[in-house]
Amino acid sequence: MNKKIALAAMVAAVVGTIALMAQAGPPTTPSAILKGAYSRIKTNFVKAAEKMPEDAYGFKPAEGIETFGQRVAHIANQMGTCSAINGARKPSSATGKTSKADLVAGLKESFDECDKSFDALTDANAMESVAAGRGQQPRINALYGIVVHANEVYGAMGVYMRAKGLVPPSSEGR
């Protein structure tokens, strides 16, 4: 009989948890909203970098602009900003690299460093001054800048992908 009671209690706990999660709705605090935006752009950027074929990493849609690989390396360079926010500026391992494998690895390493910055963000510390850019700025401002910049670069990279007949990850399934 105890097993039946334990099973019933477990089922009730799971159902209760699911009900609470359904009621929670979208994030409502500034830090939670920013963390959600970061998670989305990180996912899309990594998927785009992985989806583009190796031979297209040298592609650029017009003269005078960077190649797809250079755009990936550019975002991997956010390593400097995120590591500075985390306390010690580090260079990106993607600098000077051209192969897809090296650039994707550098991009992921950079996002791992940025994960630490975003994980540390709370509403309570959002206005604390951190090292970023050309000096000190509020933590939330520095992290918001990372999200905005990554979205700008990702949007441009959609053109590269479309020119190669690929659907950008954010448009898949539409």
Q: What is the pTM for the complete model shown?
A: 0.81
Q: What residue spans define the domains of the chain?
A: 29-171
Q: What is the pLDDT of residues 11-21, one digit of tens each?
A: 333 334 344 44
Q: How far apart are the first and last CA of the chain?
A: 51
User: Could you please report the per-residue DSSP string of 74-92?
Assistant: HHHTHHHHHHHHTTS----
pLDDT digits (tens, 9 = 90+) for 107-154: 999 999 999 999 999 999 999 999 887 789 999 999 999 999 999 999
Q: CA 68 to CA 77: how far, in whole Å?
A: 14
Query: Which pLDDT score, from 0 to 100, does residue 147 have?
Result: 96
The runs of H, that is alpha helices, within 77-138 are 78-85, 100-120
Give the Cα-Cα-Cα angle 38, 44, 46 (nearest 5 degrees).
100
pLDDT at 130: 92
What architecture is domain 29-171?
Up-down Bundle (1.20)
What confidence score (pLDDT) does residue 26 get? 74
Average pLDDT, the chain: 86
Percent of the chain at pLDDT > 90 equals 69
The number of angstroms, rounded, from the C-alpha of 113 to the middle of its chain's C-alpha atoms is: 10
Give the contacts of 162 (CB within 8 A, at least 6 positions apart): 168
Q: Look at residue 31 and tell me whether its pLDDT is greater than 70.
A: yes
AA letter at 75: I
Average pLDDT over residues 18-27: 55
Q: What single-letter amino acid sits at 36? A: G
Cα separations (Å) of 96 from 4, 49, 76, 105, 108?
62, 17, 11, 13, 16
Confidence of residue 23 (pLDDT cuts 50, 70, 90): low
